[in-house]
Amino acid sequence: DTGVSQDPRHKITKRGQNVTFRCDPISEHNRLYWYRQTLGQGPEFLTYFQNEAQLEKSRLLSNRFSAERPKGSFSTLEIQRTEQGDSAMYLCASSGQFSTDTQYFGPGTRLTVL
């Protein structure tokens, strides 16, 4: 069984460009989460999917951010018109059908906006 995977692992982009990240959860997990982690901080929640439905979004998720999980399997996180403040590690996690299940994280995508 493979864990959560994320692609790409690193992304360098220029300010104003759009970027898209992909997350593949553990296959039997129906819940998927996106977090953002800046230097010296713990991960901060961005958004949550149960199957294909996006059920929760943080106020941190500005209108430049959009996430999808079209078939309830992999998910994408897109950032439009990137800003230098978007530079961070973007982490994806997945968990099983019960809300008390542990979240397992992927390796993250490190975004650098120049």
Partner 1 sequence: AQKITQTQPGMFVQEKEAVTLDCTYDTSDPSYGLFWYKQPSSGEMIFLIYQGSYDQQNATEGRYSLNFQKARKSANLVISASQLGDSAMYFCAMREGGAGGYQKVTFGTGTKLQVIP
- Shortest Cβ 31–partner 1 spacing (Å): 8
- Shortest Cβ 16–partner 1 spacing (Å): 26
Of the pair 72, 80, the CB lying nearest partner 1 is at 72
Of the pair 74, 96, the CB lying nearest partner 1 is at 96
Tokens 């949550």 sit on residue:
48
The residues of the shown chain that bind partner 1, judged by CB under 8 A, are 33, 40-45, 48, 50, 55-56, 89, 91, 93, 95, 98-108, 110
* Count of C-beta atoms within a 10 Å radius of residue 106: 21
* DSSP code per residue over 76-112: EEEE-S--GGG-EEEEEEEE-SSTTSPPEE---EEEE
